[in-house]
Chain A
Amino acid sequence: MKVIDTNHDRWHEVTADDSLVAVPAAEPWSLLTITQWQAVRASWPADVPVGLIVPNDVDIETVVADLPRLRLVALCFPKWVDGRAYSQARLLRMRYRFPGEIRATGEVLVDMLPLMVRTGFDAALLRADQTLANARRALGFFAEGHYQGDVSETRPRFARPAAA
């Protein structure tokens, strides 16, 4: 799990108003909204690294066709207790085999990290008041694992060898 340091993050959002901007020139490491992406998808070269911001009320199935073009999917926690993005992440990894980065954005607390690791996130942009030290602590429990299968251990405990 990578904690994003905004000072050293090559990804950048494109803040222009969707409706006024003509198709922008291809710029690597752009993090686009779905509207922006749909506008440039046909014209940008396939090898330009692009990230997509997917709100948590969007059916993840609607972006599946784009996954081969995407290096990063940013999922959103508008409130930290809104758990929809966990399902989106899990589906991206386990059903659609997305190999790129899945980044948690929005209200991200260190106490969510253990759930994120297990549902397929590999990067998190923490809320400003969260500390790296606490993030490490939060990830330090349950070293012997969990009952269910998840993204890091895809079989449930009972289906793994030598389950006890």
Chain B
Amino acid sequence: MYRYTEFDRQFVHQRAAQFRDQLQRHFAGQLPDDDFRALRLQNGWYVQRHAPMLRVAVPYGELSSKQLRALGRIAREFDAREGGPYQDQRGGYGHFTTRQNCQYNWIALADAADVMDILADADMHGIQTSGNCIRNITSDCFAGVAADEIVDPRPYCEILRQWSTLHPEFAFLPRKFKIAVSGTLEDRAATAWHDIGLVLKKNEAGEIGFEVRVGGGMGRTPIIGTVVRDFLPWKEILVFIEAIVRVYNRYGRRDNSYKARIKILVKAEGQKFIDAVEAEFANIREHDVDGGAHLLTDAELARVSAHFELVPEGVTPSTGEPLDLFADAAARGPAYRRWLERNVHPHRIPGYRAVTLSLKRAGLAPGDATADQMDAAAALADRFSLGELRVSHDQNLVLPWIRESELAALWEAARAVGFATPNIGYLTDMIACPGGDLCALANARSLPIAAAINERFDDLDELHDIGDIDLHISGCINSCGHHHSGHIGILGVDKDGKEWYQVSLGGMDGSALSGGAAPGKVIGPSFAADEVPDVIEAVIDAYRGQRSAAAERFIDTVKRVGLEPFKAAANAVRRATAVHS
């Protein structure tokens, strides 16, 4: 994974020092709330429903075991810290998000500068994890190890991270700005749903370039990004993105925050927007002082790649016959077999696999990990995965460098610390935002809904029979739980001060499994909270009744038969809304 240079290291320490100065001025009464807000946001500090929330950047989802231990230390020592204002809360954990970051809910603002110092010591930060600026760059959690990878996106992600970090012109855009990068056939980074979605590819001559999409996004107006370039030579990427963001900074709407994302500009202007970007792109190169100096070079790509150790020392490809992973599965029982099927993924290096540590298990919110669990995952990474982990878009952890011969030992060790639930890709491997329990924006709670569904579908054989399905839950229209892209999406809405839930079907994140990217369709009036598990069960039962064969996946059945059978099934279990609506 990427190893910081001395420059990178002093840079995050400078940022921590700058933030400490701002925090001190705030506490000294020299920086009022209104002014401090945007400054703290750009360092990852929100003020939520009950307490501040810290969002730590995990650039493109890559974590070292050392960094994960630092995250664990922060959870242990600062989250709901004893003697602090939130000591009575159930704290001591972190929450991994769909944008591969890590959040804390109960850290006192008075401790904020100390926490940023600890992060900087671990080569981490909260730079631009919030605010109307270019956010953390996300990528495929299997970047660099995926068997279907065309180009390893990580060096490009790091180059983009450096370019976007404290870019002086783009700190106060009309609205937040998210970039995702993928380099595989299968899009595991939901690129089409981002403000800019980049897919690395090779042309017929073997040259590397990007397919560039602009203007995807969820929220109130779900839109799939528009392809503005099929193949942009990689050396031009920084200049091209600079052109996109400059056009957005100049012309994006600022009068209404619901209409301020770039997707609205792209939709309103259409080809005119693309023409403006192309004109700006040409202007930078032809007219600006040192405009051409911003084109990437082979030397820069080589320099950044060298800091990655793209294939870490200690990786030794197997040369023999491929191992039959299932050869000893029978002896270890069905749980191991299921785990091999669900949590173990193909790898580009013979003899290796990537393994998902499931953060979706009964009793814990999706994506949550306690301090001890973070330490345990770090220990697994040290023992089995060359000290490296990934945070997945689906809110799990991934160990990217597992020798096939050590899978059984890893399974035993992961099971002992509760990470081996074999449910990856199943209904209970759901995405959920923190919702109304913690978030100030939410209209309704997400976590009790997630817990109730988890409880209802606790039978692994049943989950297996239901098969691959994406369930996404958001507590409000801001869509942090990506309900638009769920095969089943659940959206919390507020009606007369009560929590209701809108259910949509047929959303797709852009993976081949889904068959592209598309927003789901709502299947009728909202349901009461206690109806939701029944509705999900009714929808699942309808699928099982409708599918053409056991192998037909939920999303394919929805596409084939349409929404009606599911609507009817869901309506049949309405109770509260039958009276209310």
Contacts and interface: CB of A to CB of B under 8 A. Distances in A.
Contacts of A115: 168-169, 171
A83 B293 contact: no
A119 B168 contact: yes
Contact of A111 (B17, B22, B296): B22
Contacts of B10: 144
B290 A137 contact: no
Contacts of A16: none
Given A148-B163, A157-B162, A87 B35 contact: no
Contacts of A12: none
Nearest to B30: A134
Contact of B290 (A83, A118, A149): A149
Nearest to B252: A84
Contacts of B249: 83-84, 86-87
Contact of A164 (B7, B163, B250): B7
Interface centre among B38, B162, B169, B290, by most chain A C-beta atoms within 10 angstroms, is B169
Given A141-B17, A156-B293, A114 B168 contact: yes
B131 to A, nearest CB: 9
Contacts of A141: 14-15, 17-18, 21
A155 B238 CA distance: 13
B287 interface: yes
B17 A149 contact: no
Interface in A99-116: 109, 111, 114-115
Nearest to A159: B293
Interface string A135-164: 001100111101111100011111100011
Contact of B167 (A59, A82, A111, A148): A148
Contact of B35 (A80, A94, A137, A157): A80
A141 B173 CA distance: 23
A65 interface: no
Given A111-B39, A164-B7, A86 B168 contact: yes
A148 B289 CA distance: 14
Contacts of B169: 83, 86-87, 90, 115, 119
A118 B39 contact: no
B21 A157 contact: no
Given A81-B172, A86-B249, A158-B300, A144 B11 contact: yes
B168 A149 contact: no
B120 to A, nearest CB: 13
A2 interface: no
Interface string B285-319: 00111110110110110010000000000000000
Contacts of A147: 11, 162-163, 165-166
B176 interface: no
B283 interface: yes
A141 B172 CA distance: 19
B5 interface: yes
A95 B30 CA distance: 37
Contacts of B238: 156
B162 A155 contact: no
Nearest to A89: B169
Contacts of A97: 289
Contacts of A111: 22, 31, 35, 39
B113 to A, nearest CB: 14
Given A95-B287, A142-B11, A164-B5, A82 B168 contact: no
Interface in A33-86: 59, 80-84, 86
B246 interface: yes
Contacts of B31: 111
B196 to A, nearest CB: 17
Contacts of A118: 168
Q: Which of A81, A90, A118 is most buried by chain B, counting CB atoms within 10 A of its CB?
A: A81
A86 B169 CA distance: 5
Contacts of A109: 35
B281 to A, nearest CB: 13
Interface in B254-307: 254, 283, 287-291, 293-294, 296-297, 299-300, 303
Nearest to B165: A147
B283 A95 contact: yes
A80 B171 CA distance: 11
B45 to A, nearest CB: 15
B14 A142 contact: yes
Nearest to B169: A86
A145 to B, nearest CB: 8
Nearest to B286: A95
B287 A149 contact: no
A146 B164 CA distance: 11
B321 interface: no
A137 B17 CA distance: 11
Nearest to B17: A141
A146 B294 CA distance: 14
B25 interface: yes
Nearest to B10: A144
Contact of A86 (B39, B172, B289): B172
B168 A87 contact: no
Contacts of B35: 80, 109, 111
B169 to A, nearest CB: 5
B132 interface: yes
23 contacts: A80-B35, A81-B132, A82-B172, A82-B254, A83-B170, A87-B169, A87-B249, A94-B289, A111-B35, A111-B39, A114-B168, A115-B171, A141-B14, A141-B17, A142-B166, A146-B11, A147-B11, A147-B165, A154-B289, A154-B293, A156-B293, A159-B294, A164-B6
Given A83-B249, A86-B169, A157-B162, 14 more contacts: A82-B254, A86-B168, A86-B171, A109-B35, A114-B168, A115-B171, A143-B14, A146-B11, A147-B166, A149-B290, A149-B294, A150-B168, A158-B299, A163-B303
10 cross-chain pairs, A with B, having the tightest CB-CB distances, nearest first: A83-B172, A118-B168, A154-B290, A147-B162, A158-B300, A115-B168, A159-B293, A141-B18, A155-B293, A86-B169
